[in-house]
Amino acid sequence: MPVIYTEPSDLTESIATTELQQRLINYIQSGRENVASKKMLQVSTYLENLTIKNVLDIGSWHLKQTLELLSAFPNCKVHAFEPAPDNFELCRKTHMSLGSELGNRIKIWKVAVGSKNGPMEFYVIDESLGDSNAGAASRYKFKPGKNGSFYNQSWIQKPVTVQEMKLDDWQKLYKIDPVDLIWIDVQGGELEVFRGAENLLKDVKIIFSEVGLEAYYEGQGLKPQIDEFLMNLGFKEITEAFELNGFDYEGNTVYVRY
């Protein structure tokens, strides 16, 4: 299926031709964080052909991308995953501040999604010892010298124990409906998430994923591995949708079922 791609620089001047595009443009112009809306607008012609009812926001951090997804797809529900204790509390407070119309469409899970089940050591950023970046929390330790130096910052990790769960087992245990769309940003752990979700991914139509290009976490999966794994499950990358995520170590891209 052909995909019409919109360059990021053109988004603020886009002219909506569909209801989905209008919702995305309205969100972008609202002044709220709009990372997901911009990415979805780039591939909106493909999204127009999909029915999106069940969505996963993996590595939610603050629930802001969940709100974008709810706006884009008025009939969907979103399951948001966030294992870092402070980040989960931020998600919970945001959720509580919403009215019932939006709030009832969100379920927040305090769990690290991965390829195993059980307790695991997870690394959050200790702001009392260095610079702040709650979004850099990860299942992996930083590689030596890669803890924010590329931004002239120092991110100090602190281990906490969290629960890890495979998405395949989560879906079966909680009787979750088929998933249509995944938004994922888990700081180098994307491949581990996909490895624990082979059955769930059979129904997924589109994946928006952060991908590592050069490792700055020890053991993280990189884009070539993710590309190959997802290709073997019936996905292809919309290569025109790939873009760097602010620096050369990681990017954002989109995979669709072929």
Q: Walk along the chain (258 residues) and give the pLDDT tens digit of each residue.
A: 333 445 555 555 567 789 999 999 999 999 999 999 999 999 999 999 999 999 999 999 999 999 999 999 999 999 999 999 999 999 999 999 999 999 999 999 999 999 999 999 999 999 999 999 999 999 999 999 999 999 999 999 999 999 999 999 999 999 999 999 999 999 999 999 999 999 999 999 999 999 999 999 999 999 999 999 999 999 999 999 999 998 899 999 999 999
CA distances from 48 to 22, 27, 204 (A): 12, 17, 15
Cβ contact 191:226 at 8 Å: yes
Identify the CA nearest to 157 among candidates 123, 130, 127, 116. 123
For residue 26, the surrounding DSSP H or E stretch is helix 19-28
Instruction: Looking at 98-218, list the stretches that DSSP marks H as alpha helix, in order from N- to C-terminal side.
Output: 100-103, 167-173, 190-195
Q: Is residue 71 part of a domain?
A: yes
Judge whether 117 and 43 are in contact, CB under 8 Å: no
CATH of the domain at 151: 3.40.50
The residue range of the domain holding 184 is 48-230
Half-sphere exposure of 100 (CA within 13 A, CB side): 0
Domain assignment present for residue 239? The answer is no
- Residue 148 belongs to a domain: yes
Q: Does the residue 251 lie in any domain?
A: no
Q: With helix as H, strand as E and coil as C, how does 120-139 read?
A: EEEEEECCCCCCCCHHHCEC
Q: Please count the structural domains in the chain.
A: 1
List the one residue out of 4, 107, 98 whose CA is nearest residue 55. Answer: 107
